[in-house]
Amino acid sequence: MQSFRTELENPIVEKDIIELDRKIALFREGKIDEEKFRSLRLARGVYGQRQQGVQMVRIKLPYGRATSAQLRRICKVSEEYSIGRLHITTRQDIQIHYVGLDRTPELWAELERDDVTIREACGNTVRNVTASETAGIDPKEPFDVTPYADATFKYFLRNPVCQEMGRKFKMAFSSSDEDTGLAYMHDLGFIPKIKEVDGQQVRGFKVLLGGGLGSQPRHADLISEFLETDQLIPFIEAVLRIFDRHGERARRNKARIKFLIKDLGIETFLDLVEKEKTALPFKSFSLDFEHEEGKTLPNPPNVEVDSAELGLDFELWKLTNVLEQKQEGYVSIGVRVPLGDFYLDQARPLADLVENYAAGEIRFTLRQNILIRDVREDLIPFFYQELKKINLAQRGYNSLGDITACPGTDTCNLGIASSTGIAVELEKVILEEYPQYLKNQDLVIKISGCMNACGQHNMAHIGFQGMSMRVGKTVFPALQVLLGGGNLGDGNGRFADKVTKIPSKRGPQALRVLLDDFEENRKDLDFLSYYDQQGQMYFYDLLKELADPAGLEDSDRIDWGRDENYEVAVGVGECAGVVIDLVATLLLEAKEKLDLGQESLKENRWSDSLYHHYAGLINAAKALLLSEDISTNSYANIIKLFDENFVENGKIQLAGSFAEKVYQINENEPSEEFAKAYAKQALEVYELLKQYREEEVQA
CATH number at residue 36: 3.90.480.20
pLDDT over 60 (residue 92): yes
Choose among 86, 91, 117, 89: nearest CA to 347: 86
Q: Distance between CA atoms of 377 and 392, rounded to whole angstroms? A: 19
Q: What is the pLDDT of residue 453?
A: 84
Q: Are residues 15 and 89 in the same domain?
A: yes
More confident residue, 42 or 137: 137
**Residue 119 belongs to a domain:** no
Are 380 and 497 members of one domain? no
* C-alpha pair distances (Å), 641 with each of 213, 263, 476, 623: 32, 20, 47, 12
Task: Evaluate if residue 654 carries a pLDDT over 60.
Answer: yes
Please report which confidence band the pLDDT of residue 657 belongs to, taking 50, 70 and 90 as the band edges. very high
pLDDT above 70: residue 574 = no
Which of 370, 369, 398, 394 lies closest to 384 in space, CA to CA?
394
Span 332-361, average pLDDT: 97
Task: Report if residue 122 sits inside a domain.
Answer: no
Confidence of residue 1 (pLDDT cuts 50, 70, 90): very low
In a domain, 633, yes or no: yes
Asked whether the predicted pLDDT for residue 526 surpasses 70, the reply is yes
CA distance 434 to 223: 42
Query: What mean pLDDT is predicted for residues 161-168?
Result: 93
pLDDT confidence of 581, banded at 50, 70, 90?
Answer: very low
- Of 161-165, 277-281, 416-420, 525-529, least confident by mean pLDDT is 416-420
Q: Are residues 6 and 87 in the same domain?
A: yes
What pLDDT sits at residue 562? Answer: 85
How much is the pLDDT for 569? 59
Min mean pLDDT across 207-221, 230-244, 583-597, 626-640 is at 583-597
Q: Is the pLDDT of residue 87 over 90?
A: yes
**Cα separation, 144 vs 128, whole angstroms:** 18
Is the pLDDT confidence value at 582 over 90?
no
- pLDDT digits 0-9 by tens, 588-609: 889 989 999 999 999 999 999 9
Chain center to CA of 616 = 27
Which of 112, 145, 177 is the last residue in one of the domains? 112
The pLDDT, as a whole number, for residue 572 is 47
Name the nearest CA neighbour of 320 among 307, 337, 333: 333
Residue 163 and residue 260 share a domain: yes
Q: How would residue 577 be classed by pLDDT, with cut points 50, 70 and 90?
A: very low
- CATH number, domain with residue 639: 1.20.120.330
2 has pLDDT over 50 = no
Domain assignment present for residue 336? The answer is yes
Question: Has residue 517 been placed in a domain?
Answer: yes
User: How far is the C-alpha of 223 from the C-alpha of 267, rounded, in Å?
Assistant: 10
One domain, residues 549 and 630: no
Please indicate, yes or no, whether residues 445 and 526 belong to a single structural domain of this protein: yes
pLDDT score, position 699: 57
Asked whether the predicted pLDDT for residue 6 surpasses 80, the reply is no
d(CA 99, CA 76): 14
pLDDT score recorded for residue 621: 95
Q: Is the pLDDT of residue 121 over 60?
A: yes
Residues 613 and 512 reside in one and the same domain:
no
Please indicate, yes or no, whether residues 210 and 79 belong to a single structural domain of this protein: no
Query: Per-residue pLDDT for 567 more than 90?
Result: no
Question: pTM score, two decimals?
Answer: 0.92
CA distance 207 to 396: 32
- pLDDT value, residue 586: 83
Residue that finishes a domain, picked among 112, 143, 167: 112
Task: Encode 267-305 in three state secondary structure.
Answer: HHHHHHHHHHHHHCCCCCCCCCCHHHCCCCCCCCCCCCC
- Domain co-membership, 140 together with 283: yes
Q: Is 491 exposed, middle or buried (0-12, 13-18, 19+ CB in 10 A)?
A: buried
pLDDT in tens, 368-393: 999 999 999 999 999 999 999 999 99
Specify whether 619 is located in the same domain as 532.
no
pLDDT exceeds cutoff 90 at 133: yes
Asked if the structure places residue 426 within a domain, the reply is: yes
Complete DSSP assignment for 355-400? HHHS-SEEEE-TTS-EEEEEEEGGGHHHHHHHHHHTT---S-TTST
Residue 292's pLDDT band (cuts 50, 70, 90): low
* Three-state DSSP state, 52: coil
Residues 461 and 512 in one domain: yes
pLDDT at 78: 97
Instruction: Look up the CATH number of the domain holding residue 384.
Output: 3.30.70.3340
Least confident of 67-81, 164-178, 332-346, 568-582: 568-582
Q: Mean pLDDT throughout 82-94?
A: 96
CATH number at residue 170: 3.30.413.10
Domain presence at residue 317: yes
Calculate the CA dihedral of residues 529, 530, 533, 537 and round it to 10 degrees.
-120
Pairing of strands 497-503, 445-448: unpaired
- DSSP letters along 513-544, please? HHHHHHHHH-TT--HHHHHHHH-HHHHHHHHH
Mean pLDDT of the chain: 92
CA–CA separation, 652 vs 137, rounded Å? Answer: 61
Q: Mean per-residue pLDDT for 665-688?
A: 96
Cβ(82)–Cβ(58) below 8 Å = no
Comparison of pLDDT for 177 and 549, the residue scoring more: 177
The string of pLDDT tens digits covering residues 458-514 is 999 999 999 988 888 888 999 999 999 999 999 999 999 999 999 999 999 999 999
Q: What is the mean pLDDT of residues 89-101?
A: 95
- Report the alpha-carbon distance of residue 51 to residue 62 in Å, rounded: 28
Confidence of residue 304 (pLDDT cuts 50, 70, 90): confident
Enclosing domain of residue 358: 307-389
Domain tally, the chain: 5
Which residue from 541, 532, 535, 419 is spatially nearest to 480, judged by alpha carbons? 419
- Tell me how far apart the alpha carbons of residues 696 and 583 are, in angstroms, rounded to a whole number: 12
Give me the percent of the chain exceeding a pLDDT of 70: 95
Radius of gyration of the chain (CA): 26
Q: Note the pLDDT of residue 71.
A: 98
How large is the angle between the packed helices 635-642 and 606-627, nearest 10 degrees?
Answer: 60
The answer on 155 and 64 residing in a single domain is no
Query: Domain boundary residue among 292, 318, 339?
Result: 292
* pLDDT value of position 91: 96
Question: Contact, 20 vs 41, CB < 8 A?
Answer: yes
Q: Is the pLDDT of residue 579 over 50?
A: no
Tell me if 202 is assigned to some domain.
Answer: yes
State the Cα–Cα distance between residues 16 and 124, nearest whole angstrom: 17
